Structure 1
Amino acid sequence: MGNIDKLIDKFQNNSISNEELSELENWVKDSEYNKDYFKNSVQNDYLISSFYRKQEEIPNLSNLKKPIIILKARKRRANLMKFAAIFIVALIASTTVYFYFFNSAETTYVPGEIIITNENGEKITVDNQIKEIVYNEEGEVSNLGSQVKKNPNSSKNHSKTLAYNTINVPKGKRIQLVLSDGTKVYLNSESSLRFPSHFPKAEQLRKVSITGEAVFEVSKDSLKPFIVEAGMLKIEVLGTRFNVDAYPQSKQISTTLAEGSVQLNYENEVLRLEPGEAGILSKNTNILQVEKVNVANKMAWVDDRILFINETFSEIQKKIERSYGVQIINNNKQLNDVRFNGDFDINSENIEDVLNAFKAVDFFEYTYKNNIVTIKNKE
């Protein structure tokens, strides 16, 4: 076993060559005994490393109240150890301590495409290269391909008719929409917007409905207030910039104001927001209240950033899933209430850059395959 021990030692010290890695892989596959032998070697190395890490006063999750852990991305190094560890240990993952693989059956998570459904039920898939969809005053849009050149209700005979479209944005994707009145809507991942293809002159209001999250830059029109319906909450505005967070699975609906002024209406209650404030409606208590908030934390996604300031991991997990179009299975429930600060650019930093920032401060081990991230339960 001397040669195998040397290969395992090289593997664990990141000095194994491609040829040696293939030899070790073939040996591991050869028998159950070999798999167990390799597993025990990796396990012993992990336990020894864990002992020394404890001496370095690395934070213990069970003792953490509400820490603020500052994360910085460490760019991935294309080293052999990283890929070799995942590749080989996956063969014996059913009982290993070091790596936990949620891989009893091959599973793939596919978030889907951006879809626009018009009032007639016609569905149009938006090309991945399209970053902005612009509707003109007649409700026409030109960059969705030959399928949709002109809305059938935009002709003179139908100029007084409201024709509603719905756009659905899956995880991992975002898009900008310019409505026929010039209002800009930035739709976040896992969101949908119901909006008129154009706003007829006879209508007294401009009204849309949002599920999920969006930032609105409303075109001013003093004669036609702009109304956003977000679940039980109605937001009225003449011209401003604000974020609406109304994901169905969230315990609250919030509106964060960046510029201008908005009025929130819930049943018989009316609240007016000033910049830097958020109106928050609790779904459990049906209480609407105003809080001072960090606007940047709520609006950063528009600039393709994942920004979290004093946020729990349970909330950060949702941001990561939506930004990168993945599913995260968190088997480390103690992690949910730990608070972090971090700032990542999703255009230049991929999901493993983000996850490795958590790993670098020894908060978890994870696996990533087929758009599924599995976080190991920390022993």
Structure 2
Amino acid sequence: MRNLIISTPLDDDDTLATNPARAEKLGDLYLGIKQHIFVEKQKQAVWKKVIAIAAILLAIATSAAYFLRSKDVLNNKPAIASFDDVKPGKNAATLTLSNGKQIILSDQGIGELANEPGISISKNANGVLVYKIEASGEATEKNNTLTTTQGETYQVILPDNSKVWLNAASSLTYAASLGSRYQTRTVKLSGEAYFEVAHDKTRPFIVKTTQQEVKVLGTHFNVNSYGDNGQTITSLAEGSVQVQPALHSLFAKILKPGQKSVLGKSAINIAAANLETDLAWKNGLFTFDEATVPEVMQQISRWYNIDVRYNTAIPNERISGGISRQSDLKMVLKMLELIKINYKIENNEKGRKTLVIL
């Protein structure tokens, strides 16, 4: 239904990408749909309080932004951001080589970036970091680390052709050759990453976090190990994985596609995964399904590089909806307005912006 709405012109002279009136109409239409769904849910379960928001659709946000930029160019005037119009994150990261040298990847052009013994490290035309083992020479087993700060995300292709998407405020540590001379391919993760592991039945791929190890032969899965969550969540899209908690009193669990493991301080539970929400960040979206306000704020603060403060009791409303991660913060925060939550943006002493929930 969403794709149909986006692709269908509302007026004869309507264009797909440059009409702000279209964005408003689509927003009203989507709100009507979500309100109808909300009413039906209330009929089925009166006790369950769900606030279904009309978060602006991907096409709406990008259409409005494109229109404003185009207008500024035509008028030959620079765009001026309002006080609370915080820009989204970007494709950026820092690569730390085994000798300690740091490379700011967003500052680098396409082509070779560095050489480790037996390893070529480059940046391709899509801005992806690529490792290749050279035909001659013995590849080094010394570690490299790829790090993103708040407001950054990046992708790397490891020497075994496994692909990794690194979310904001995360780091991935791995041998530059990814253990080519050993029986396992081991990486260490802090934060969140999505893995598409190249199949190799002779060499398991292991993802280590502070709380667990995930062991696979070749599959697609997401690991969320942010420390502020108090738990580690592993969501499986394809294949199978073995999740081994670091706490020895807990047994390993095997996940099937569409399942997730939730590892807390003293227990590991298996549940059905909502892959649309769990993998939304990797697909360039915020997608929420009855998420709490703190859960939403965690994602927003990491991506927009802002702090969050509550000047009142934490609202107990739950939020559902979706929006592009390329939207400005002002667009994203309309979800709070729709559920009657007041907020303001402040500059703190260090020049950072703080989202204050009133």
Identify the TM-score tier after normalising by the shorter chain. 0.5 to 0.7
- Contact preservation (8 Å) 1:133, 1:177: no
**Match for residue 182 of structure 1 among 136, 140, 161:** 161
Unaligned residue ranges in structure 2 (runs of 5+) = 1-46, 69-81
How far apart in 2 are the matches of 1:320 and 1:132? 33
Q: Does 1:352 align with 2:334?
A: no
Structural mapping, 1:230-269, within 5 Å: 230-266=209-245, 267=248, 269=251
Post-superposition Cα deviations, 1:349-368, rounded to whole Å, max 9, x if no partner, equal 21110112312432113225
Aligned to 1:114: 93
State how far apart, in whole Å, the 2-side matches of 1:299 and 1:343 are: 12
- Contact 1:193/1:210 (<8 A) preserved: yes
**Stretches of 4+ aligned residues off by more than 4 angstroms:** 74-78, 110-113, 128-138, 153-157, 368-371
- Deviation per CA, 1:110-139: give whole Å up to 9, x if none: 999621112211111111687999999953
Higher helix share: 1
User: Which residue number in structure 1 is paired with residue 102 of structure 2?
Assistant: 123
Instruction: Check conservation: 1:256, 1:298, Cα contact below 8 A.
Output: yes
**Letter of the structure 1 residue corresponding to residue 296 of structure 2:** I
**Cα distance in structure 2, aligned partners of 1:247 and 1:254:** 9
Q: CA deviation at 1:179?
A: 0.4
Instruction: Report the residue type matching 1:325 in the other structure.
Output: N
- Which residue of 232, 244, 253 corresponds with 1:271? 253
SS, match of residue 122 in structure 2: coil
1:333 deviation in Å? 2.6
Query: For 2:184, which of 205, 218, 221 is the aligned residue?
Result: 205
Counterpart of 2:203 in structure 1 is 224
What is residue 33 of structure 2 aligned with on the other side?
none
| Residues in 1 aligned to 2:109 and 2:49: alpha-carbon distance in whole angstroms | 41
Distance 1:290 1:346, change over 3 A: same
8 Å contact from structure 2 (residues 91, 153) kept in 1: no
- Cα distance in 2, alignment partners of residues 215 and 272 from structure 1: 18
Bigger share in strand: 2
- Which residue is 2:354 aligned to? 373
Q: CA deviation at 1:287?
A: 1.1
Partner of residue 72, structure 1:
54
Can you list the C-alpha shifts for 1:213-270, whole angstroms capped at 9, x where unaligned? 0000000001101000021201000111000001122210111001110011123612
Q: Which residue of 2 aligns with 1:318?
A: 298
Question: Cα gap change, 1:131/1:322 in structure 2, threshold over 3 Å: closer, same or farther?
Answer: farther
Question: Cα gap change, 1:190/1:233 in structure 2, threshold over 3 Å: closer, same or farther?
Answer: same
CA positional deviation for 1:376: 4.1
Q: Distance in 1 between matches of 2:158 and 2:217?
A: 15
2:149 is matched with 170
Q: Alpha-carbon deviation of 1:371?
A: 4.9
Determine the C-alpha separation between the residues in 1 that align with 2:174 and 2:130.
Answer: 16
Deviation at 1:200, TM superposition (A): 4.5
Distance 2:121 2:224 in 1: 27
Judging changes above 3 Å, is the alpha-carbon distance between structure 1 residues 69 and 371 closer, same or farther for their aligned structure 2 residues?
farther
Alpha-carbon RMSD: 3.6
Where 2:277 maps in the other structure, the secondary structure is helix
Secondary structure at the residue paired with 2:121? coil
1:287 and 2:271 aligned = no
What residue identity is the alignment partner of 2:50? I
CA apart distance, 1:156:
4.8
TM-score scaled by length of structure 1: 0.64
- Alignment counterpart, residue 123 of structure 2, candidates 143, 146, 152: 143
Contact 1:304 1:345 in 2 (8 A): yes
Change in CA separation of 1:298 and 1:131 when aligned onto 2, cut-off 3 Å: farther
Q: Which amino acid aligns with 2:353?
A: I
Q: 2:42 matched to which residue of 1?
A: none
Letter in 1 for 2:300: I
- Give the C-alpha shift of residue 291 in structure 1: 1.1
Secondary structure class of the residue paired with 2:227 = coil
- CA distance in 2 between counterparts of 1:202 and 1:182 reads 16
What is the number of equivalent residue pairs in this alignment? 276
1:134 to 1:243, Cα distance in 2 relative to 1, 3 A:
farther
- Tell me how far apart the structure 1 counterparts of residues 274 and 113 of structure 2 sit (CA, whole Å): 30
Q: Structure 2 counterpart of 1:316, which letter?
A: V
The answer to whether the Cα contact below 8 Å between 1:70 and 1:341 also exists between their aligned partners in 2 is yes
- Distance 1:157-1:271 versus aligned 2 partners, 3 A rule: same
Aligned-pair identity in percent equals: 28
Tell whether the 8 Å contact from 1:132 to 1:178 is kept in structure 2 after alignment: no
Superposed CA offset, 1:262-282 (max 9, x none): 011123612100011111110
Shift of 1:182: 0.4
Report the alpha carbon displacement of residue 310 of structure 1 after superposing the two structures with TM. Answer: 1.0
Question: What amino acid is the match of 1:306?
Answer: F
SS across alignment from 2:152: coil
SS of residue paired to 2:320: strand
Question: Shift of residue 209 of structure 1?
Answer: 0.6
Question: Is contact 2:307–2:353 with CA below 8 Å preserved after alignment?
Answer: yes
